[in-house]
Amino acid sequence: MTEKPNIFDRLAPALLVLGALLTTAAFILNFTSAPLVQGALLPDNGLAVIGGQVVTNKLLLSQKIFYFHMPVAVTSFVALLFTAVFGVLFLVKRNSHYDLMAKVATEVALVFILMTMVSGEMWERFEWGVWWTWEPRLTTYFILMLLVIGYFILRNAIDDAERRATYAAAFGIIAFIDAPISLMITRLVPSGAHPVIFRTDSGLSTPMLIPLLLAMFGFFCLAFALYRFRLRQQTLKARLDALKTNLED
Amino acid sequence: MTATEPTPRATPSVPTATATSAAAATLTPTATRRPSTFRQYRILLGKDLRREFRTREMLTSMGIYAVLVLIVFGTALMQASAGFDVLPVAGGLIWALIVFTSLLGLNRSFSHEKEEAALEGIMLVPLDRSVIFLAKASANVLFLLVVEIITLPLFYFLFLSGSALAATFGLAIVPLLVGTIGIAGVGTLLATITVNTRGQDVLLAVLFVPLVFPLLYACVAATSVALLGGEDMMATFGPAVALAAAYDVIMILVSWLLYDFIISA
């Protein structure tokens, strides 16, 4: 039992600072260098009321949300990938440390999923003029959030540690497989009722790409730092508990 | 990793399973042949069906529950105008009915295995654990299909008798079949998980509904267009059924692979 934290734990504080700097830089660049974006042209030169304003085709300040929203969403997916990978590792190696790692990765994923949902809600309200719509990507992400919340409800409902770890690993794997399928299905099955009114052009110019990539890299650093901090805290807690039970015996 | 040492290591349970089968192999003389996997499957499935035939527990409760859901639908639609056509939303209502009813059946399918340690008894038999999964899932498919055969004509009678069904309505059988298989497959895996948890009924719903969402989406689309018809009906029906079938294949394969870990835990 050595006290020396491993290389990742020593890197974590540095990554936290780096992530904070990068996301701040991205935030500033977002408002200084990235240009405003033209809103979608409304059909037949119409006018629409969005957020209490009559608009036709305006420069959208709310598009700035995108530079926050998309990197956070990508980070949450990466965190969930780790949940599934650690789940497989646990089932193969039967080492409870992998279960802890999967749990912490899912916790980080949930934090980023909630950030994505909040920023996404703002986006919908000010870009699309509605609080909610059953658009494919939204629906899928909503389902994903429910799956992750279900993961924690499942963990809380089981007392036996090994059984909890096995069930959580299996559910983590199956949920991670389910998410891309739901995205694919909502995209590929045409639903006659909904006209396509959402822009999906992704031709980003360089001044737009730079803050986006900075933010994405920054959030990766932040997520990893959070993950290591939480993992270390949980490992120490497990050790403390073990010591306490030893002391009682 | 130095920090991992004090954490208790989970003991693998797979070797104990092989030990049991090895012990069984040494005990029984080699002259007695082990029953084939298919025979084990048939025996396990037969056990579930025989039990149901004797008690009629699942079918009665699922059937009554389905009728109650229909009453709730009727109440929900009661204030609509007299000429209100249910047909455009019929596909969605049918699948809501199936999802709710299947939740009830899936919850029950394992809870009676806990009584008298019946599941432990099955686990003592040296068989491939995936066979348990296949047998249980097949039983759930059959029960669900029986309930559908009873309630869907009732649904037509109560809600659609005034609507003009498209000539292609018979095609709705395809998504119904594909969807039922998928629901039973994923549901059996989740029911095995939740039967050992606190508050199993609620937990099954919490895990099952989001997990089955893609299948539900595809099946609602396919069922709706089959009932509504139209020239470009096949443009939606084809991909929807194909994707639902793909979901079935992927999810049942994954469930099958994971089942041994889950039931041994």
pLDDT digits (tens, 9 = 90+) for B98-130: 999 999 999 888 888 887 778 888 888 888 888
Question: How far away is chain B from the Cα of A14, in angstroms, using its nearest Cα?
Answer: 20
Contacts of A155 in chain B (CB under 8 A): none
Question: How far away is chain B from the Cα of A175, in angstroms, using its nearest Cα?
Answer: 7
Distance of CA B26 to the CA centre of its chain: 38
Number of domains, chain A: 1
Tokens of B104: 């009830």
Structural domain contains residue B114: yes
Q: Are residues A182 and B214, on separate chains, in Cβ contact within 8 Å?
A: yes
Q: Are residues A167 and B5, on separate chains, in Cβ contact within 8 Å?
A: no
CA B45, CA A103: separation in Å to the nearest integer? 36
CA distances from B44 to B62, B118, B134 (A): 22, 12, 9
**A199 φ/ψ sector (left φ>0, alpha ψ -120 to 50, else beta):** beta
**Are B14 and A93 a contacting pair, CB within 8 Å?**
no
**Are A41 and A57 a contacting pair, CB within 8 Å?**
yes
Structural domain contains residue A226: yes
Structural domain contains residue B219: yes
CA A44, CA A165: separation in Å to the nearest integer? 57
Structural domain contains residue B68: yes
**Are B183 and B144 a contacting pair, CB within 8 Å?**
yes
**3-state DSSP assignment of residue B28:** coil
What are the residues whose beta carbons fall under 8 Å from the beta carbon of A122, sequence distance 6 or more?
Answer: A62, A65
Structural domain contains residue A44: no
Burial letters B216-249, b for 16+ CB under 10 A, else e: bbbbbbbbbbbbbeeeebeebbebbbebbbbbbe
Structural domain contains residue A130: yes
**3-state DSSP assignment of residue B265:** coil
Query: Which of A2, A143, A170 is nearest residue B210 as measured by Cβ atoms?
Result: A143
Listed by number, the residues of chain B in 165-224 with a beta carbon closer than 8 Å to a beta carbon of chain A are 186, 189, 193-194, 196-199, 203, 206-207, 209-211, 213-214, 217-218, 221
- ipTM tops 0.90: no
**Are A65 and A37 a contacting pair, CB within 8 Å?**
no
Bridge partners for A59 per DSSP: A38
Contacts of B9 in chain A (CB under 8 A): 94-96
In this structure, the dihedral spanned by the alpha carbons of residues A106, A111, A112 and A117, taken in order and rounded to 10 degrees, is 120
Average pLDDT over residues B199-221: 90
Structural domain contains residue A209: yes
CA B240, CA A189: separation in Å to the nearest integer? 6
CA B132, CA B193: separation in Å to the nearest integer? 14
Q: Are residues B254 and A174, on separate chains, in Cβ contact within 8 Å?
A: yes
Query: What is the Cα Rg of chain A in Å?
Result: 22
Question: How far away is chain B from the Cα of A63, in angstroms, using its nearest Cα?
Answer: 30
Partner B contacted by A240 (CB < 8 A):
no
Number of domains, chain B: 1
Structural domain contains residue A123: yes
Bridge partners for A241 per DSSP: none
Structural domain contains residue A1: no
Tokens of B192: 């095995």
What are the two backbone dihedrals, phi and then psi, of residue B5, each rounded to the nearest 5 degrees? Answer: -55, -45
**Are B87 and B227 a contacting pair, CB within 8 Å?**
yes
Parallel, antiparallel, or unpaired for β A37-38 and A59-60?
Answer: antiparallel
Tokens of B89: 């939303």
pLDDT digits (tens, 9 = 90+) for B152-201: 999 999 998 888 888 888 889 999 999 999 999 999 999 999 988 887 78
CA distances from B85 to B78, B131, B155, B161, B163 (A): 12, 45, 14, 10, 7
Structural domain contains residue B187: yes
Domain housing A140:
7-31+61-192+205-244
**Are B185 and B140 a contacting pair, CB within 8 Å?**
no
Domain housing B129:
35-264
Query: Which of B6, B209, B235 is nearest residue A242 as measured by Cβ atoms?
Result: B6
Structural domain contains residue B6: no
CA A162, CA B142: separation in Å to the nearest integer? 33
Structural domain contains residue B234: yes
Distance of CA A150 to the CA centre of its chain: 16
Structural domain contains residue A39: no
Contacts of A150 in chain B (CB under 8 A): 206-207, 210
Partner A contacted by B12 (CB < 8 A):
yes
Query: Taking each helix axis from N to C terminus, what angle separates B213-228 and B233-264, rounded to the nearest 10 degrees?
Result: 150
Parallel, antiparallel, or unpaired for β A59-60 and A53-55?
Answer: unpaired
CA A154, CA A168: separation in Å to the nearest integer? 7
**Are A214 and A25 a contacting pair, CB within 8 Å?**
yes
Structural domain contains residue A47: no
Bridge partners for A50 per DSSP: A53
pLDDT in tens, chain A (249 residues): 445 567 877 888 888 889 888 888 888 887 777 766 655 555 555 555 555 555 555 556 777 787 888 888 889 989 999 999 999 999 999 998 899 999 999 999 999 999 998 888 887 777 667 777 777 778 888 999 999 999 999 999 998 989 999 999 999 999 999 888 877 777 777 654 444 444 444 456 677 778 888 888 999 999 999 999 999 999 999 899 989 999 988
